[in-house]
Amino acid sequence: MDATDRKILAILQEDSSLPVAEVASRVNLSQTPCWRRIQRMEETGVIRRRVALVDPDAIGLGLSVFVEIETGDHSAEWLERFAREVEAMPEVMEVYRMAGDVDYLLRIAVANMAEYDGFYRRLVALLPLKNVTSRFAMERVKYTTAYPVGEAATGGR
């Protein structure tokens, strides 16, 4: 992964619908080598997938809720089962296992409070949890899937 690959990544993270020829010209390369670089990054898993990003408001899922969960003392198997079940819930967009007092942090996308309440009930009914805190987002100020891939940001990796 050299500087050219990173430039390609920066472009494709913003717009993956661009023709390879266009990407190539922007990184001062001709089509084929550029195409091979993209291909290689897809094979090696640097590029995980290409997706369409949907506007949550447009499909009526504009409410983001962050859920902080303390699981309490539990076995590794219990925790694994918890993670698997939460993962399978479609409203759950992100799940992180955290350091510190909160064990898991979830981002939930729902239509409104009533729907969130439904989700919350299903969540706490799933398994016994020590503590569950809901924090509601008023506004999504920034949301990007594009990681910074410039020299400075990655430490020249």
Partner DNA sequence: GATGAAAAATCCAACCG
Partner DNA sequence: CGGTTGGATTTTTCATC
Contact footprint for a copy of itself (CB under 8 A): 1, 6, 9, 12-17, 44-56, 58-61, 64, 66, 83, 86-87, 90-100, 102, 104-105, 109, 111, 115, 135-150, 153-155, 157
- Say what angle helices 76-88 and 113-126 make with each other, to 10 degrees: 150
Query: Strand, coil or helix: what is 37?
Result: helix
| 21 near DNA (CB under 7 A) | yes
Query: Strand, coil or helix: what is 153?
Result: helix
| 133 near DNA (CB under 7 A) | no
Q: Which helix (H) or strand (E) holds 107?
A: strand 104-110
Residue 32 binding: pick among a copy of itself, DNA, none (C-beta 5-8 Å cut-off by kind): DNA
- Of 19, 57, 66, give the one whose Cα is nearest residue 38: 19
Cβ closer to a copy of itself: 29 or 65? 65
Phi and psi at residue 65, in whole multiples of 5°? -130, 135
Cβ closer to a copy of itself: 36 or 140? 140
Residue 43 binding: pick among DNA, a copy of itself, none (C-beta 5-8 Å cut-off by kind): none
Residue 27 binding: pick among DNA, a copy of itself, none (C-beta 5-8 Å cut-off by kind): none
> Minimum Å distance from CB 132 to DNA?
42
Alpha-carbon span 109 to 41, nearest angstrom:
31
Q: How many CA atoms lie within 13 A of 105 on its CB side?
A: 10
Binding test (CB under 7 A) with DNA, winner from 3, 14, 30, 118: 30
Residue 91 binding: pick among DNA, a copy of itself, none (C-beta 5-8 Å cut-off by kind): a copy of itself
Phi and psi at residue 64, in whole multiples of 5°? -105, 130
